[in-house]
Amino acid sequence: MNKTLLVKMMLLVSLLLTSLGFSGSAYANDGKKYRWRLAETWGPNFPIFGEASKNMAKMVKEMSNGRFTIRIDSANKHKSALGIFDFVKSGQYQMGHSASYYWKGKDFNTQFFTTIPFGMIASERHAWFYYGGGMELMKKVYDQYGIMSFPGGNTGNQMAGWFKKEINSVEDLQGLKIRIPGFAGEVLAKLGAKPTNIPSGELYTALERNTIDAVEWVGPSLDLRMGFHKIAPYYYTGWHEPGAELQFMVNQKAYDSLPKDLQVILTVAMKAAAYDMYAQSMHVSAENLASLKKEYPDIKIRSFPKSVMNVIKKTNDELLTEFANKDPMTAEILQSLKDYKSQIRTWTDLSERAYLDNFDE
DSSP of 249-311? EEEHHHHHTS-HHHHHHHHHHHHHHHHHHHHHHHHHHHHHHHHHHHH-TT-EEE---HHHHHH
Give Cα 138 to chain centroid, integer Å: 14
* Of 120, 114, 221, 239, nearest in space to 173 by CA: 239
pLDDT reading at 87 higher than 50: yes
Confidence of residue 31 (pLDDT cuts 50, 70, 90): confident
Confidence of residue 340 (pLDDT cuts 50, 70, 90): very high
Contact assessment for residue 280 and residue 48, using Cβ atoms and an 8 Å cutoff = yes
Give the model confidence (pLDDT) of 238-282 as tens digits.
999 999 999 999 999 999 999 999 999 999 999 999 999 999 999
The fraction of the chain above a pLDDT of 90, given in percent, is 89
Question: Which has more pLDDT, 13 or 192?
Answer: 192
Where is 69: in which H helix or E strand? Answer: strand 68-73
Residue 9: its pLDDT value, please?
56
> Mean per-residue pLDDT for 186-190?
96
Residue 25: its pLDDT value, please?
43
pLDDT reading at 14 higher than 70: no
Where is 70: in which H helix or E strand? Answer: strand 68-73
* CATH code linked to domain 158-240+297-324: 3.40.190.10
Residue 338: its pLDDT value, please?
97
Dihedral (CA of 345, 349, 350, 353) sign? positive
Residue 19: its pLDDT value, please?
52
Dihedral (CA of 282, 283, 285, 289) sign? positive
Contact assessment for residue 37 and residue 73, using Cβ atoms and an 8 Å cutoff = yes
Q: What are phi and psi of 195, to 5 degrees?
A: -75, 150
C-alpha distance across the termini of the chain, in Å: 32
Q: 39: which strand partners? A: 73, 96
83-90 own/partner pairs: CB under 8 Å, 24+ apart: 83/39, 84/39, 84/40, 84/41, 84/249, 85/145, 85/147, 85/249, 87/39, 88/39, 88/147, 88/249, 88/250, 88/251, 89/145, 89/146, 89/147, 89/251
Give the model confidence (pLDDT) of 105-119 as tens digits.
999 999 999 999 999
Residue 26: its pLDDT value, please?
47
* CATH code linked to domain 3-17+33-156+243-283: 3.40.190.170
| N residues, the chain | 361
Residue 21: its pLDDT value, please?
52
> Mean per-residue pLDDT for 117-137?
98
> Mean per-residue pLDDT for 177-196?
95
How many whole angstroms separate alpha carbon 358 and alpha carbon 233? 33
pLDDT reading at 301 higher than 50: yes
Question: Which has more pLDDT, 360 or 89?
Answer: 89
> Mean per-residue pLDDT for 209-237?
96
> Mean per-residue pLDDT for 283-303?
96
Question: DSSP letter string over 301-350?
Answer: EE---HHHHHHHHHHHHHHHHHHHTT-HHHHHHHHHHHHHHHHHHHHHII
pLDDT reading at 151 higher than 60: yes
Question: Which has more pLDDT, 173 or 1?
Answer: 173
Residue ranges matching CATH 3.40.190.170 in the chain = 3-17+33-156+243-283
Contact assessment for residue 152 and residue 235, using Cβ atoms and an 8 Å cutoff = no
> Mean per-residue pLDDT for 67-95?
97
Residue 4: its pLDDT value, please?
55
Residue ranges matching CATH 3.40.190.10 in the chain = 158-240+297-324
